């Protein structure tokens, strides 16, 4: 686990003040840079030592067979795994023939800084070689938000006690050797040399490599070029082979002199373009990067992020760790989606190979809600990506003897890549999650063009899935049987409440949209009778309820299942999925992650306040949080039902998931959903944001640890700023026209905000909510604030 002292608490930086070899892989994920198209793990410049090398391109994958002990009809036959593509980060340094390797000689100082406003990773080190020669190295790395294919490194070496002879080797390397895979199902499959060489080219100041995957047939090109600033007799030459190109730079530095090298990198890949076309593409990328130069790239990066933070920043007073963490989370969420451009947002972004680089429902229900209110253009692209996979979703539905679209549980390009039925195919709720992300995006942006181009079709095809997946019983109630909800410890059950309620909204949204866009709906074969059938199913949706216990059932019959023996489950046996058979988990009242509680967040309009409190208390005692998706939702609902202090502890757990490596798998990439969850816990939890009926609604109420929470939301062409204090909240509009008016609700009261008239309203006092909720033994929130910490 990452020790707290490794990252001092600062509002706009994540700073590593010493190099800890025990958590090198985790820090590589934390310090990863990406723009949604290119991802560079935070490996050291010299490449070694490393925890897990990684350079990724969104949706660049290799196919591999999915093994089954016993095959069955409809089982997916192949999986997709993200490929570690050509590594362009490598810059090796030799000081008088001694390779700079932090494991040798003496590392006098070492610091790395992830600058959340500049969008750069900066590194400074002071090293004494085994022969006693000292150098200072400063490097700054960026992955450009404004030039999608470009990354760049500014690398400087200063002689301390020269003169010294420096040899700098800058490389492109394909088919790096990767560490062996563990047995943890959350990590990726290891691919042995997945890239076949097609072309190698060298120039005086760089070169390029072009490779192709062996099975998926995807082609990737990587190119580099260098600008030099050093002594007059600085030399440069390049050489290349099929899997590597190396540019060697040499000079002699006197004490105080500096060699500065700017390395430009460009990447491109395609399943269709020819080798010459891809070669030209990366060549053009290098030309564009050099046209701007290092200073221009860095300036454009800062300007891009200034605009983003102006619209998206969250200010937290009272908990400095959360302040740092929520900005860190927003930065990584932006990196995952900013330039994905009709490609998926994977569960780990492009920060590591965890989950094979797959996208799940996490994207739609955790990441996209944040981006919808902060960077809606990224959501637009993510929805277009889902639409590009519609043909495969149709085919999957036909295989399952269903109508409409059955979207995959996990995928990169569109086909189902989960070989595990209960938590894969049976998790049909992903269809409603996609529909809800679309509904929210349309609500917030008013993007009529997208609604007509792809929105209606996505809603229609997901509604058709629910109408054929579910059925009316003899009493007219509508049931959806044999499915898995968000809680993967309760699998293949009837009438999962989350699934049913999200499907209900999906059906009603589709019917409304089809009747508004009648001509387009008719082109899709929708009749008034079909839309009426969707409404009938939605209005008759069964919602399981235990009258004796006076709580909702997560699935039909959940409350009569045997209780899990928490008393005799030792802490080292968590997560349960790694230590107990699923057969045992499926038969007991034990919850991996918020499920019914998640339904109360996203479909809070289907529950009364009293029901929410009773449900929360019941399921809190049974939820073990073996998933990083759970803490933020429990934070939201704890705050809503009157337990803000518990909500604050869950907020901290969600926010610090990766900065503290709480699940001990940050080495494989950061957790995008949990990072997004920090924003959700603050804005939806303590800010009380809801959008159930199409109107912005807030019920802000802070924990005792928070003295102020301030955040912005984009709504149509306006920026709403919400400033929450313990006893009052101020709503104001920014970047709005002179006649702009926004109607919203504050603790149920209608208010109207204009550009020239901010509205300040009191926060009503909280009502007593009974005894504190209880968690399973040893599963209370992991991170508590010290008593005297402010």
Under 8 Å between Cβ of 153 and 170: no
Degrees (nearest 5) of the Cα angle 605, 606, 610? Answer: 90
β-strand pairing of 697-698 with 741-746:
parallel
CA dihedral sign, ordered 522, 528, 533, 535: positive
Under 8 Å between Cβ of 135 and 164: yes
- Report the distance separating Cα 13 and Cα 751, nearest Å: 37
Which among 535, 580, 585, 540 has a CA at the least distance from the CA of 558?
Answer: 585
Question: What residues contact residue 141 under an 8 Å CB cut-off, 6+ apart?
Answer: 33, 40, 45, 89, 120, 121, 122, 123, 151, 152, 153, 154
For helices 320-337 and 644-655, angle between their N-to-C axes, nearest 10 degrees = 50
**According to the annotation, is 493 in a ligand binding site?**
no
Structure tokens of 459?
Answer: 């809603």
Q: What's 721-770 look like in SS3?
A: EEEECCCEEEEEEECCCCCCEEEEEECCEEEEEECCECEEEECCCCCCCC
- Report the distance separating Cα 599 and Cα 541, nearest Å: 14
**According to the annotation, is 169 in a ligand binding site?**
no
**According to the annotation, is 534 in a ligand binding site?**
no
Q: State whether residue 618 is helix, strand or coil.
A: helix
Secondary structure letter of residue 651 according to DSSP: H
β-strand pairing of 134-143 with 120-128:
antiparallel
- Report the distance separating Cα 541 and Cα 564, nearest Å: 29
Largest separation between any pair of C-alpha atoms in the chain = 90
Position of tokens 């003496």? Answer: 106
Under 8 Å between Cβ of 301 and 316: no
Active site residue 530: no
- Report the distance separating Cα 360 and Cα 79, nearest Å: 14
* Chain-centroid distance, C-alpha 376: 15
- Report the distance separating Cα 424 and Cα 447, nearest Å: 32
**According to the annotation, is 409 in a ligand binding site?**
no
Catalytic residue among 341, 364, 416, 488: 488
Which residues are annotated binding-site positions for substrate?
361-362, 592-593
State the catalytic residues: 488
Binding residues: 361-362, 592-593
């Amino acid at each position: 686990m990452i020790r707290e002292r490794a990252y001092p608490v600062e509002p706009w930086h994540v700073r590593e003040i010493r190099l800890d070899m025990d958590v090198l892989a985790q820090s590589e994920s934390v310090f990863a840079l990406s723009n949604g198209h290119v991802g560079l793990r935070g490996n050291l410049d010299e490449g070694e030592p490393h925890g897990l090398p990684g350079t990724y391109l969104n949706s660049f994958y290799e196919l591999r067979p999915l093994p089954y002990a016993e095959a069955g009809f409809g089982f997916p036959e192949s999986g997709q795994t993200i490929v570690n593509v050509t590594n362009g980060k490598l810059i090796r340094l030799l000081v008088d023939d001694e390779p700079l390797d932090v494991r040798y000689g003496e590392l006098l100082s070492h610091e790395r800084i992830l600058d959340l406003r500049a969008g750069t990773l900066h590194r400074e080190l002071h090293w004494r070689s085994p022969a006693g020669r000292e150098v200072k190295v400063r490097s700054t790395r960026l992955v450009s938000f404004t030039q999608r294919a470009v990354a760049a490194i500014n690398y400087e070496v200063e002689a301390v006690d020269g003169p010294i002879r420096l040899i700098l080797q800058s490389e492109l390397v394909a088919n790096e050797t990767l560490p062996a895979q563990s047995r943890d199902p959350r990590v990726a499959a290891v691919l042995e040399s997945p890239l076949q060489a097609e072309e190698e080219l060298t120039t005086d100041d760089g070169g390029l490599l072009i490779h192709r995957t062996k099975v998926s047939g995807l082609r990737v090109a990587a190119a580099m070029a260098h600008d030099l600033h050093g002594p007059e007799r600085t030399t440069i030459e390049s050489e290349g082979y099929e899997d590597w190109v190396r540019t060697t730079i040499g000079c002699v530095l006197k004490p105080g002199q500096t060699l500065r090298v700017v390395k430009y990198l460009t990447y491109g890949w395609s399943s269709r373009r020819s080798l010459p076309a891809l070669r030209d593409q990366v060549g053009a990328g290098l030309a564009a990067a050099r046209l701007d130069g290092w200073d221009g790239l860095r300036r454009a990066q800062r300007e891009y992020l200034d605009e983003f933070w102006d619209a998206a920043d969250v200010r937290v007073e009272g908990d400095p760790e959360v302040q740092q963490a929520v900005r860190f989370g927003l930065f990584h969420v932006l990196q995952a989606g900013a330039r994905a451009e009709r490609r998926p947002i994977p569960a780990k972004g492009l920060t590591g190979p965890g989950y094979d680089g797959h996208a799940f429902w996490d994207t739609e229900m955790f990441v996209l809600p944040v981006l919808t209110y902060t960077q809606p253009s990224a959501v637009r692209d993510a929805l277009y990506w889902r639409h590009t996979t519609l043909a495969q979703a149709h085919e999957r539905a036909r295989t399952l003897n269903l109508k409409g679209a059955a979207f995959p549980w996990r995928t990169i390009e569109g086909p189902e890549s989960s070989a595990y039925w209960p938590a894969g195919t049976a998790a049909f709720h992903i269809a409603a999650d996609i529909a809800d992300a679309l509904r929210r995006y349309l609500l917030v942006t008013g993007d009529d063009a997208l609604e007509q181009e792809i929105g209606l079709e996505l809603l229609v095809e997901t509604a058709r899935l629910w109408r054929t997946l579910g059925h009316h019983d003899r009493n007219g109630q509508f049931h959806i049987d044999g499915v898995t909800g968000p809680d993967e410890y309760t699998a293949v059950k009837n009438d999962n409440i989350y699934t049913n309620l999200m499907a209900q909204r999906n059906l009603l949204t589709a019917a409304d949209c089809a009747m508004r866009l009648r001509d387009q709906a008719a082109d899709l074969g929708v009749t008034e009778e079909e839309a009426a059938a969707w409404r009938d199913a939605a209005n008759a949706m069964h919602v399981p309820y235990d009258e004796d216990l006076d709580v909702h059932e997560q699935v039909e019959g959940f409350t009569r299942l045997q209780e899990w023996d928490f008393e005799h489950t030792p802490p080292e046996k968590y997560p349960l999925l790694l230590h107990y058979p699923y057969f045992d988990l499926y038969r007991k009242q034990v919850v991996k992650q918020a499920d019914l509680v998640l339904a109360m967040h996203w479909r809070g309009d289907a529950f009364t306040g009293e029901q929410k409190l009773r449900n929360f208390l019941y399921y809190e005692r049974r939820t073990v949080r073996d998933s990083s998706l759970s803490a933020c939702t429990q934070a939201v609902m704890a705050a809503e039902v009157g337990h803000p202090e518990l909500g604050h502890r869950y907020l901290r757990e969600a926010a610090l998931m990766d900065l503290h490596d709480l699940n001990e798998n940050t080495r494989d990439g950061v957790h995008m959903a949990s990072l997004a969850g920090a924003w959700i816990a603050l804005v939806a939890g303590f800010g009380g944001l809801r959008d159930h009926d199409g109107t912005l609604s807030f019920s802000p109420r802070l924990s005792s640890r928070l003295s102020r929470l301030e955040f912005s939301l984009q709504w149509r062409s306006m920026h709403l700023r919400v400033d929450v204090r313990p006893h009052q909240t101020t709503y104001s509009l920014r970047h709005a026209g002179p006649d702009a008016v926004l109607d919203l609700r504050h603790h149920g009261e209608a208010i109207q905000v204009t550009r020239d008239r901010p509205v300040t309203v009191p926060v009503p006092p909280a009502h007593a909510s009974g005894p504190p909720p209880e968690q399973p033994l040893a599963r209370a929130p992991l991170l508590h604030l010290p008593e005297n910490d402010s």
